[in-house]
Amino acid sequence: MESLPNPIILQNFTTESGALYNSLPLSFALFGLSLHTAPIVLVNHALTGNAQVTGENGWWNDLIGEGKTIDTNKYSVLAFNVPGNGNDSFSIENYKDFTARDIARIFLKGIEILKIEQLYAIIGGSVGGGIAWEMLALEPNITKHLIPIATDWKSTDWMIANCFLQEQILNNSSKPIEDARIHAMLCYRSPESFKEKFQRTINQDLLIFNIESWLAHHGDKLQKRYQLASYKLMNQLLKTIDITRNGEDFQTLMSKTKADIHIIGIDSDLFFTPKENRETFQELKKFKDNVFYSEINSVHGHDAFLIEYKQLDNLLAAIF
């Protein structure tokens, strides 16, 4: 990993809603080969993630690293922190100022400042993949490959509904992070996943169901490492993914790009459902040849993109 002047400071950034930020820090991490010596892969993190995609505390170590699918001996791997994600001292209080597109614009600005002409690939799961879609819609030639995983180019009504409930919990609960996380885990996993894992067993120490102690543990764990302002912001981004927001329709926007689009769905995803992914694929197929759809087969639901790394490996091997 090389060190670069971190963070980039964006001056006078105006969000789509008209909010002006005089100075917006964009911190990032770089892994593998030095910038401009190898093809560059941009990794967009998900809701509670960050730029630390590999190495110590790397959340995608199974996929990215020396000798891994995205091999740091072959590629430069770049990851930005979403400003306000809690990984630096900067925090965003007015979370409604931002949409997923604003973050895409910020990332594109960062790429420009780093003097990157074109990326080899943009890969992201969940909200990170949504931001990747937004980046391609804004800059059709920014990347050779777009790899959105467990995500889509828009937030559906179902997604917006879940984010609305998250927001209600975050704004009204006496234990907002814990309670929101408990609800979120129900979206990130699946009924089959819980059945396989817990079998209605009881935690003998606490005399509650094991599923209950597991959910409470996840809430507690997140509360210790995550900030409320960050959660509100990232939830807002998840709710506002929509590349057609400025009036151009999906076909018009996506006809402009030559990039290979590799959509990866998860057959048990209750959050970004595979049905939506397949519809997006069919829509793209009508006017674009180099688009591909594959599916992770798992009981684990939305979180499978962090769990089923062997399948993900196989699906991505040909690209990398």
Quote the tokens at residue 294. Answer: 């594959």
pLDDT at 1 over 90: no
Domain layout of the chain by residue ranges = 8-155+243-316, 157-237
pLDDT for the residue 217 = 97
The 10s digit of each residue's pLDDT in 153-176 is 999 999 999 999 999 999 999 999
pLDDT for the residue 4 = 55
pLDDT at 280 over 90: yes
Q: How does residue 274 score in pLDDT terms, banded at 50, 70 and 90? A: very high
CATH 1.10.1740.110 fits 157-237, yes or no: yes
Q: Count of CB atoms within 10 A of residue 164's CB?
A: 12
Q: Report which of residues 93 and 89 the model is more confident about.
A: 93
pLDDT for the residue 6 = 79
How far is it, in rounded angstroms, from Cα 164 to Cα 168? 6
Same fold, 8-155+243-316 and 157-237: no
pLDDT at 80 over 80: yes
Q: Residue 266's beta-bridge partner residues?
A: 296
pLDDT for the residue 103 = 98
pLDDT at 76 over 70: yes
The 10s digit of each residue's pLDDT in 190-222 is 999 999 999 999 999 999 999 999 999 999 999
Give the phi and the psi of residue 206 in degrees, each rounded to 5.
-95, -10
- CA dist 276 to 151, 158, 264, Å? 9, 11, 11
pLDDT at 89 over 90: no
- Sequence-distant (≥ 6) Cβ neighbours of residue 248 within 8 angstroms: none
Average pLDDT, rounded, for the chain: 96
Assign residue 80 a region (left: φ > 0; alpha: ψ between -120 and 50; beta: otherwise): beta
What's the whole-number mean pLDDT along residues 49-65? 95
**What would the 3-class secondary structure string for the chain be?**
CCCCCCCEEEEEEECCCCCEEEEEEECEEEEECCCCCCCEEEEECCCCCCCCCCCCCCCCCCCEECCCCEECCCCEEEEECCCCCCCCCCCCCCHHHCCHHHHHHHHHHHHHHCCCCCEEEEEEECHHHHHHHHHHHHCCCCEEEEEEECCCCECCHHHHHHHHHHHHHHHHCCCHHHHHHHHHHHHHCCHHHHHHHHCCCEECCCCEEHHHHHHHHHHHHHHHHCCHHHHHHHHHHHHCCECCCCCCCHHHHHCCCCCEEEEEEECCCCCCCHHHHHHHHHHHHCCCCCEEEEEECCCCHHHHHHHCHHHHHHHHCCCC
pLDDT for the residue 5 = 56
The highest-level CATH class for domain 8-155+243-316 is: alpha beta
Q: Residue 28's beta-bridge partner residues?
A: 80
Using alpha carbons, select from 154, 159, 109 the residue that is nearest to residue 133: 154
CA end-to-end span of the chain, whole Å?
20
